[in-house]
Amino acid sequence: MKHFFSPFFNPVKLVKAYRFHKKTGRYDRTVNDLELKLYSKILKNDMLHLGYFDDVNTAPEFISIGHLEQAQYRYAEIIAEQILDKDLPVLDVGCGMGGLSNFLLTKGINVEALTPDRNQIDYIERLEHGPVCHHSRFEDFRTENKYGTIINSESLQYLNLDKTFRKVDHIILPGGRWIITDVFRRHEESSNQSGHRIGDLLCRIKEHGWKIAYERDITPNILPTLKLLHMYVDRYLIPLSHYAEEKFTYKKAWLFYLTKNIRQAIFVKSKKEILAIQPELFVAEKKYMLYVLQKEIPSS
Ligand SMILES: C[S@@+](CC[C@H](N)C(=O)[O-])C[C@H]1O[C@@H](n2cnc3c(N)ncnc32)[C@H](O)[C@@H]1O
């Protein structure tokens, strides 16, 4: 017990702790997304999206990591099918670990990747035959290049809509296509705020002179992954945390008592996060859409 508390009464340790705190700085999810980093350690195909199940009735109990990775390749295929002019350059915005870009490279498509996340850029730059990768937020991306296709594969939700439309307008070739796959909120009110409101996207499409060349609600096809994640939380993570808590009570009852407020705050935060992957709630409040937008060719 003495050993546990001694750093709190040691001035040298306290100064060092303060310096460490200053050096570590504020957590900026855009440049160092720890959640995506965690997923990238679990899945080994460098894809960080929910995948696409052809069989929408696949039960979560029968999905292995291999099945999930296959579903992610299928998702990449669905996107690749929408690239019509394969000779023009493609930009993969918010490329994650570069899985989709690499998949497109194997199809002979000239793709460049972009991410603001330093873990992702470091990883992609170490790949032997990886894509050219730009390290930038898309909203701040400066380039003279123009692209025939721009892809936002589960990345639009992280971007500011107005700035993104302005940027895409600037770098898309006439007649170019913009492929978007992502979660959207059906209404303003939602128990979890991830994803843009679908009405906001539709307004911007009109305002910026784009037309919808193709659209599909692929919620049923991503739902098996959501059910799988929810099952893991429900059947492994929650029981495991209860087990750890009970064990903690018996091993260090005094510490258990003193950390009550911290544990409660973690519990409230986790409950909120779990709501985002609750399948029934997702269907009620959100949609997972595939949009292909096309820029009108200006008449001469
Ligand atoms: C869920 S991951 C999707 C990764 C990848 N597109 C895929 O399908 O595997 C979201 C990606 O968006 C990126 N991102 C977040 N904010 C961004 C921004 N402002 N500009 C560009 N990309 C961003 C993240 O770093 C990450 O690479």
Ligand 1 atom 22: residue of nearest CA: 94
* DSSP structure class, residue 221: H
Measured distance CA(93)–CA(75) in Å, rounded: 16
Query: Which residue, 202, 184, 203, is CA-closest to 287?
Result: 184
Residue 223 pLDDT? 97
Least confident range from 6-15, 104-113, 204-213, 233-242: namely 6-15
Is the CB–ligand 1 distance for residue 182 below 6 Å? no
User: pLDDT digit string (tens) for 54-82?
Assistant: 999 999 999 999 999 999 999 999 999 99
Mean per-residue pLDDT, 147-173: 96
Give yes or no for residue 140 having a pLDDT over 90.
yes
- Nearest atom (ligand 1) to Cα of 117: 25
Residue with tokens 């059947």: 235
Give yes or no for residue 297 having a pLDDT over 80.
no
Measured distance CA(34)–CA(269) in Å, rounded: 16
Check residues 24 and 120 and name the one with the higher pLDDT.
120
When the pLDDT of each residue in the chain is averaged and rounded to a whole number, the result is 91
Q: Which domains does the chain have, with CATH numbers?
A: 83-217+289-295 (3.40.50.150)
Check residues 222 and 187 and name the one with the higher pLDDT.
222
**226-233, long-range: CB within 8 Å, 24+ apart, which pairs?**
226/50, 226/277, 226/279, 226/282, 227/59, 227/60, 227/279, 228/60, 228/63, 228/68, 229/277, 230/60, 230/274, 230/277, 230/278, 230/279, 231/60, 231/61, 233/274, 233/277
Write the Ramachandran bin of 209: left for phi over 0, alpha for psi from -120 to 50, otherwise beta: left
Give yes or no for residue 133 having a pLDDT over 80.
yes
The CB density around residue 133, as the number of other CB atoms within 10 Å, is 21
Measured distance CA(198)–CA(96) in Å, rounded: 23
Mean per-residue pLDDT, 108-132: 93
Residue 1 pLDDT? 60
Ligand 1 midpoint to CA 5 (Å): 42
Mean per-residue pLDDT, 116-123: 93
Residue 299 pLDDT? 65
Ligand 1 midpoint to CA 246 (Å): 38
Ligand 1 atom 7: residue of nearest CA: 48
Measured distance CA(188)–CA(231) in Å, rounded: 28
Please report, rounded to a whole number, the percentage of residues in the chain having pLDDT higher than 70: 97
Mean per-residue pLDDT, 128-152: 95
Pocket test for ligand 1, best of 91, 134, 158 (most atoms within 8 A of CB): 158
Mean per-residue pLDDT, 10-21: 86
Residue 8 pLDDT? 80
Residue 85 CA, distance from chain mean position = 27
User: pLDDT digit string (tens) for 246-284?
Assistant: 898 888 888 888 888 888 888 888 888 888 889 999 999
Pocket test for ligand 1, best of 115, 124, 163, 180 (most atoms within 8 A of CB): 115
Please report, rounded to a whole number, the percentage of residues in the chain having pLDDT higher than 90: 63
Give yes or no for residue 13 having a pLDDT over 90.
no
- 197 by Cβ neighbours in 10 Å (0-12 / 13-18 / 19+) ranks as middle
Measured distance CA(149)–CA(83) in Å, rounded: 7
Measured distance CA(135)–CA(116) in Å, rounded: 5
Mean per-residue pLDDT, 121-144: 93
Is the CB–ligand 1 distance for residue 116 below 6 Å? yes
Which pLDDT band, with edges at 50, 70 and 90, does 2 fall under?
low
* DSSP structure class, residue 298: P
